[in-house]
Amino acid sequence: MEKAETGGTTKPFNEPSPHFKLLLSCPSGLSPSQVSVVFDETYDRVPHPDMSLENSISEIWDQRIQRSTSLYNGQKFRYGGHMLCNGDGCDKESRVCLHLGLTDYRTFVGTNLNPLWEKFLVISKDDSIRCQHTSSPLGNGAIVETSDKKILVLKRSNDVGEFPGHFVFPGGHPEPQEVGISFHQHEIDSEAINKKVSLEMFDSIIREVVEEIGVPAASLCEPVFIGISRRELNVRPAAFFSIKCSLDSMEIQQMYSSAQDGFESTELYMVSVSDLESMGSRMPGCHQGGLALYMLMVEAEKNV
């Protein structure tokens, strides 16, 4: 595993890019047993000392809901960093522990998507300190490989709030409500909560693929965690997973037309790895990072 690398959308992937930063790269892929979570208010957002900047959060949100009555303020997990543990001794497995707090969509709109988003940042080489005043909800994305070796890519609808018209991997967010979390509860068994949140990291990406593509969950193999990318514009973080599907391209294309969340996209593409690389420049920054993470995994598999 490697920490805090930068990458580009064409080889080599360790060259700096203005579009994304790889906060965590796991080319060998990690199973659910190798990914843990510490969910704690320590990793919640720190309010900015500039009150006028803080007040702009409410102002931005009020403007958005006036334009779109369908918006609602749902809870999200906030990315607050991670800790690596490389296997040694009798235990050869590498592990990662994700540090997650709690945030919401309103604060995301008012900080990360604020026209003044850069003013929320702190000058620091430590990413968690640099972004301590932003909402930074942890998104997720899946690089899904079909049985005939194609990768699934969606073209986003022009009606969605983020990345309209862009090429993206299926994904969304792990959801606190799925594990019964709406606020920090200190009297609850923290170890049990951490395990539930850790499982939600993997359960949520299966859920997103099923809802956006229309394939049955039974056709998807267990997700493999490959790292975290952050879009440099608006400092938007996302965890990425590699998932193999037992269905071929033609079967999946037929199912896509009845996908539950099909309204979020206008078209599903089945592309080769080489075609995927050429599409990278038309992806949002965090998804460009997801592509870089996947290509690092592909290179690692070739070298095994």
Could you tell me the residue range of the domain that residue 44 belongs to?
A: 2-302
Count: domains in the chain = 1
pLDDT (tens digit, 9 = 90+) per residue, 132-148? 999 999 999 999 999 99
pLDDT (tens digit, 9 = 90+) per residue, 107-117? 999 999 999 99
Q: How much is the pLDDT for 302? A: 87
pLDDT (tens digit, 9 = 90+) per residue, 169-201? 999 999 999 999 988 987 778 999 999 999 999
Average pLDDT of the chain is: 90
**Which DSSP string do the residues of the chain spell out, in sequence order?**
-EEEEE--SSS-TTS--SSEEEEEEEEEEE-GGGEEEEE-GGGSPPPPS-HHHHHHHHHHHHHHHHH-TT----EEEEEEEEEEE--BTTB---EEEEEEEEEEHHHHHHTTTSTTGGGG----SSHHHHTTTS--B-EEEEEEE-TTS-EEEEEEPTTSSSSTT-EE-SEE---GGGGT-SS--TTS-HHHHHHHHHHHHHHHHHHHHHHHH---GGGBPPPEEEEEEEETGGGEEEEEEEEEBSS-HHHHHHHHTT-TTGGGEEEEEEE-HHHHHHHGGGS-HHHHHHHHHHHHHHHHHHT-
Percent of all residues in the chain with a pLDDT value above 90, rounded to a whole number:
75
Which is more confidently placed, 18 or 240?
Answer: 240
Which is more confidently placed, 23 or 302?
Answer: 23
Q: How much is the pLDDT for 87? A: 59
Q: pLDDT-based confidence at 69, cuts 50/70/90?
A: confident
Q: How much is the pLDDT for 4? A: 46
pLDDT (tens digit, 9 = 90+) per residue, 13-48? 445 578 999 999 999 999 999 999 999 999 999 999
CATH number at residue 44: 3.90.79.10
Q: pLDDT-based confidence at 8, cuts 50/70/90?
A: very low
Q: How much is the pLDDT for 18? A: 81
